[in-house]
Amino acid sequence: MASPPGVPRLPPHDTRTPALSVVDMHTGGEPLRIVLAGCPEVVGPTLLAKQRYMRQHLDHVRRRLMFEPRGHRDMYGAVLVPSELPDAHLGVLFLHNEGYSSMCGHAVLALGRFALDFGLVPAPPAGAREALVNIHCPCGLVAAFVECEGGRSGGPVRFHSVPAFALATDLLVDVPGHGKVVVDIAYGGAFYAFVSAEKLGLDVCSTKTRDLMDAASAVTEAVKAQFKINHPDSEDLAFLYGTILTDGKDAYSEEPTTNICVFADEQVDRSPTGSGVTARIALQYYKGLLELNQTRAFKSSATGSVFTGKAVREVKCGDFKAVIVEVSGQAHYTGTANFIVEDDDPLRDGFLLK
């Protein structure tokens, strides 16, 4: 039987497995696949409990959407869930090729637009030029501010981070193939190691991406083996997400500073990395290289896309001196899709090539 006009007809599939309906976006080139429908209920009294439940019981959803043949090893995703926080408009679980993340800035920038355009937040008052979207991420509540006109999104989105801080500076790490390397570690909703690519004999702007990936991954594994990550609020947040290689230009300048982030299982961020910009701003502020409300531009060496960031106020996170960081960037819609499963497909849950 033909489908009604305007309703897509699904190909033959296992009717016991609901189709996964998604909206695809990108922020500075980094993809975001947002699940609209088809994901079973994610159970748990808190967002972190929901993340644990999804990892244990619904990880096939992540694999089907992130892995080939429906995705690729650098795909990124978001599952929207209810939040237990009264001020949150929505909760979100972040998906990537290795599992789940505590924070994702490029996703927050995209979800700000999505939440407004898909009616997940109250319509802004007539004439309003910006709408507030409170997004509960596993790391905490993040406020996104969405430029709008006539109640619809348009233009850049900015967000205010959870408390960001420097965990360790000038840490000497033995990196196989590179010897002793000086590393900084900072938190921007997730923990990152920061290294000037020059210290590894590389140029973040001209070295092949594969070589940058290998070096960054070596740093990540070395730090994991030689340094214990801790977070004052929760052990669920106490893990190293990846390494960001920089051009070494940490002192304030009006010119953009370039970096590349390699996270999870050698996943390369196409954007400047929103939570990485947050952590890098916190690190530069801690070192006295930035003042409050001094805006810096951060460029992705992968695509040339740019985010801006600034520390807007000082706060505390446990015993750490921390800052709230504002990050701004532009997200775009790229399409929609319905993904199905056939019951005799041996690759139904996806695969990745190494």
Q: Which are the catalytic amino acids? A: 104
Using DSSP bridges, classify how beta strands 30-37 and 77-81 pair: parallel, antiparallel or unpaired. parallel
Alpha-carbon distance 142 to 160, whole Å?
Answer: 6
Contact between 31 and 25 under an 8 Å Cβ cutoff? The reply is yes
Contact between 94 and 274 under an 8 Å Cβ cutoff? The reply is no
Maximum C-alpha span of the chain: 68
Pair of tokens at residue 240? 């190293």
